[in-house]
Each structure stands twice: as structure tokens, then as C-alpha cells.
Chain A
């Protein structure tokens, strides 16, 4: 009796490994822990839903997708080791990383291993290095900096503006582009400074802004620092309007900054939730108690892109996938995706948003 039990167990195990063998491994990577973990969570929620949906429809080329999750904590060194681990796991597609400073070194590892990747990292360098495997499903910092900088120059005419960044690849790149766009419109920033991300005390820089009479802060960096700066500005009796980039979509900003979050504006691609084609998916997310905000829909779209491309190419080989992705237009929940020679989206488009009472919407 016992022997048969063990034998069945072995059989079952064997069957399972065989099944697992037939799966296609795909992956996401980003900050699953650390200061920006909430962004990683958004990506994960989006990816899980996309893969469940794809598998429910029979998978890709008859094979089920299996999701691998890599955690880089937005640390470039950790990102490279995550990338190597993913290569060992023989993934056929990667969505990530999130921080530009992680994506840039990690993408070289994927490039050598011929793994195609979709990313939402916005630093221009991500696609400027001529890697063939990188496809960006978000706009670039020079584009969003242009939109944000021009908006500041036009809407806040006559007010003093400071440009601040957090020294990261993403933050500094974005802040530089915002400053450039403002200067092109004849507005010179009153102050241009950098801070250290991850600190808690920003009273020094806040006092400096107050002394300079700054009312508008063009910020390149992530949401956690903005929340602290706003809170400390309020304590110092300084009213600031902040203009940031796509990372400000995170609702953690509202929890941490309280009512101050209503002073935050940011640029982001047109809201995918307003896309009528995405309505069923949005409903699905809401039913699963996931707010489809920030990068959730982008992660979903990344796997739609992969599934669609693999189906059209009838292969998951890099050369076939790459040719198919570059040559076609794909319908996804974030709209139609098509790519130029560099791997950038053909029509990105950025819109200015504003937080109001815990929700973000197009700024008026």
C-alpha cells in the first residue's frame, strides 16, 4: 500500500515536472522591496492578471505562461544579478525593470542573451544605446520634460520656479529636460539643486526654497521624497505647487503627503482607464480589488504585446519576435503600440495630470 502511494506520488511529480517543462517562462523585474516597492507591486498585479487572462485563453502557441518575479529594489547592482538569474531561468520575455538606473545596466544582460524586453523606464538612454531587444511602452523623459517644462512656463508665468532632482538616472534626466524646456520658453529657474533620495530631513532645502520665494517646484524623482518635501514645506509655512513626472501616479503619495498632495501635478501618458477598449480589463481589475492606476495597465499591456507578437510570429525565438514587434502595430489596453527603429513608441504623448482628493485626473 505504502509502496503504491509513493509510486503514485512519484508519477504525479514526474507528470508535473513535465508540464512545467512545457511552460514558457516570462518575467517581470522591479522594486518589489525597498522604498519604491509600491511601484513593483503595481507591475506585479498587472502582470499576474495579464498572464492569468492569457493562460485562460489557452496560453501562447499552446503553452502556458509562467511568471518569474525579480526584485532589484531599484539598485543597479542588484538589477544586474536579477538579470543574470533571469537569463538562467531561460525566460523568453521580460517586462522591466522600473527605475531607469536599473533598466540601463540590466538591459545589456538581456541583450546579450537575446531576450526581448518591454519597459516603462523613461530615461532617453534606455533606447539610445542601440540595443535591439528594448521596447519602451512609455514615453521618454525628453518628451515628458518638454511637456512639463512648457506647462510650467505657460501656466505659472511670473512665478518663481525651482528645479530639483534626486541625482538618480531618472530624476536628474527629467529635471534637466524640464529646465531646458522652461528656458526655451524664456523662464529661468530661480534655483537648481539636488537632494539625496532616501533621506527623511529636507527642512534645509525647504527653507532655501522659502528664502528664494519659490512657489513652483519642478521635481525630477520619485513620489516618496515629494511627500516629505510637501509635508515639511507646510510645517515651514511654504505653499508649493509641484510638477513631477510619471512616478507621481502612485497613490502612496496621497497617504504620505495628506491634503498636500492636491498641490502635485505630473505628466503621464493619456489615462489608459479612459481607453474604451480597456474597459473590460479595468472592470476585471476593480473586481479583483486592484486599482488599475500607475503601471498596472502598462504591465498588462506588456504581456499582451508579447502574446500577440509570439502568436503572429508563430515563434518565441528572439529574431522572429523582434522582427514582428518592430514591424507591426499591436492593440493593447494602453492603446495601439508601434515602435520606431530605436524601440521607442511611435506616438507616446504626455498629458498633465493633477491629484485632487486622492484621485488623479487631467489638469485643467
Chain B
């Protein structure tokens, strides 16, 4: 029982990270109907910015933890959104109006470019940072097992909840959210009504990148090591989460992320850690076979 609880906690914190990245896929899909294949690498870039920022702060002698963490978060969000904007500007906007395949391929090119850029400028080695937040709380003690939640795990889950609330508010209640939903439904009509569609799309890319930035900082703090390749695996898992939850749906992306985190965690716990990725992707295939629109997605209605 205690063991299951511990695995639940592990799975939730892993799933929260996947969910944060998945929202970027889902939002971009929602607005332009395409998968941003460079999104995973935006996340990787953010993790590298976080490592650099932590190292710089440590060199400057900033030791107050909340202060350092907030400074790193702001830095990462700032630079990573710039990357998100640039990806849209270079890989998507020039190809708007072309066949659907072209921007997908240019995004894959962007992903390879980002990976190689980081590898060439930062080196191919694993970059470690010293532990930022240590320790945790003992949640529950049984005769043979102590359930432990580390402060990092608590932080990840809290930050994710706060961001989810903020984003739901942004999309459903604000003028920007209305514009975004309008573009999603009919971008030509929205443009005719005097809304700058290009700017809305750019902002969406930047928001997605900002969430990936937060995920990147969390992962850096949680695992303490990053390398130029982390974007690939995390990207694919988050993409799977977005599809599982119903691509285009915000709560769906979060739910998908949590489900994948939990599957991974419990599969490793009770079956074999060797085959946990196989399990994740098998579930994806099953969902696509029996509910192609995902768990929370609506079947696409043909617009007339």
C-alpha cells in the first residue's frame, strides 16, 4: 500500500512535467491544426538555459533559494518564449498557405537544428548542476516502507496546478483567449473582423514555449542533469500525452500527461521497467483505435 502510494507520487510528478510540455503541442494544434515537432527541443533549450542561469547565480553568490529559483524561471521563460516565437517565424509563417506537409517537415528541420546548435555550442556532454532543493517530508511510515515526498516533487505538482488554473482563465475569460478560440474556428473570418491572426498565432507559440520553459526548469531541478538529447524522448512522450488526452484540448493534455506518468511509474513498479515505454505507446495505439479523438477530444466537425 505504502509502496503503491510512493509510485503514485512518482508518477504524478513525472506526469505533471509531461502535461506541461503537452499543452504546448495541444495549443499549437488547436490554432493552426499542426504538430510543432520542434516543441520538445524548445523544452531542452529551456533546460540548458536553466543550467546556465543556476551556474551563473551560484557564481554570483546568490544562495537564497526562492529568489534564485524565481530568477531562473523568469530568465528561462523569457529566452524560451523568444525561441518559440522564432520557430514560428522561421518554420511556420513563411509556409502558411502551402500544403500541410511543408510546415511539419520544416518543424522537424528546426528540431534537428536546435539539437545540433546546443550540441555544438554547449558540448555533447551531460551537464550536471549541484542539488538545488534537498530533502523532503516523510508522508507515511509503515513497518517496512517509508513514503517520502521530496520538496522538488511537491514544487512540480504545485507549480503545475497554478499554471493550469492560470491558463484555463487565460483561454476562457480573457480577450486573448477569445481571439485564440476565434482563430481556431475560422482564421479567415477572424482576420476579416480585424483581429491580427499572425500575432495571435505567434503569441500561442510563445505561451506554449513558456510552459515548456517551466517544465525545463523543473526537470533541471528534479534530475539535476541535462543533455542535448532530452528534448526528443520528452517531446515524444508529451506528444503522446496530447494525443491521448485529445489533441486540441487543454485539460486533455494535462490528463494525458498524468496518465502517461502513472502508467510508466506503475508499469515499472509491478511489471518490468524494461518494457514501460512499450506499454505507454501500446496504450496510445489502443486509444487511437477505439477513440481516435482522444479521451477528452471532440470529434472534428466539418466546418461549412
Contacts and interface: CB of A to CB of B under 8 A. Distances in A.
Interface in A167-201: 167, 193-196, 198-201
Given A237-B146, A252-B125, A207 B269 contact: yes
Decide if the interface of chain A is mainly helix, strand, loop or mixed: helix
A35 B229 contact: yes
Interface in A233-273: 235-237, 252, 255-256, 258
**Range of interface residues on A (Cβ < 8 Å):** 35 or more
A228 interface: yes
A211 B145 contact: yes
A264 to B, nearest CB: 15
Nearest to A257: B128
B274 A256 contact: no
Contacts, number: 100
B230 interface: yes
Contact of A231 (B224, B267, B268, B277): B224
Contact of B274 (A32, A195, A211, A231): A195
A247 to B, nearest CB: 14
Contacts of A167: 274
Interface in A220-234: 224, 227-228, 231-232
Interface string A98-135: 00000000000000000000000000000000000000
A204 interface: yes
Nearest to B230: A200
A37 interface: yes
A252 B273 contact: no
Given A193-B274, A231-B224, A252-B126, A203 B233 contact: no
Interface stretch (B2-10, B163-171, B282-290): B2-10
Interface string A22-43: 0000000000111101100000
Interface string B108-128: 000000000001000111101
B269 A208 contact: yes
A256 B124 contact: no
A66 interface: no
Contacts of A224: 126, 225
A213 interface: yes
B228 to A, nearest CB: 9
Contacts of A204: 7, 10-11, 264-265, 267-269, 273, 276
A237 B145 CA distance: 10
B272 A199 contact: no
A330 to B, nearest CB: 33
A281 to B, nearest CB: 25
A291 interface: no
A205 interface: yes
A231 B10 CA distance: 14
Nearest to A224: B126
B227 interface: yes
Nearest to A204: B268
Nearest to A164: B273
A237 B123 CA distance: 33
B272 A256 contact: no
B123 to A, nearest CB: 7
B33 interface: no
A234 to B, nearest CB: 8
A210 interface: yes
B150 interface: yes
Best-buried of A198, A207, A210 by chain B (most CB within 10 Å)? A207
Contacts of B11: 204
A194 B273 CA distance: 6
B114 to A, nearest CB: 15
Interface string A133-170: 00000000000000000000000000000000001000
Given A193-B274, A256-B225, 19 more contacts: A37-B124, A37-B125, A194-B272, A195-B273, A199-B233, A203-B10, A203-B13, A204-B265, A204-B268, A205-B273, A207-B6, A207-B7, A207-B10, A207-B269, A210-B145, A211-B144, A228-B223, A237-B146, A256-B224
Interface of A: 32-35, 37-38, 167, 193-196, 198-201, 203-205, 207-208, 210-211, 213, 224, 227-228, 231-232, 235-237, 252, 255-256, 258
Q: Which 6 A-B pairs have the closest CB atoms?
A: A204-B268, A33-B124, A256-B128, A203-B10, A37-B124, A194-B274
28 contacts: A33-B119, A33-B124, A35-B126, A38-B125, A193-B273, A193-B274, A194-B272, A194-B273, A196-B274, A198-B229, A199-B233, A200-B225, A203-B14, A204-B10, A204-B11, A204-B264, A204-B273, A207-B269, A210-B6, A211-B6, A213-B144, A227-B128, A231-B131, A231-B224, A235-B134, A237-B136, A252-B128, A256-B128
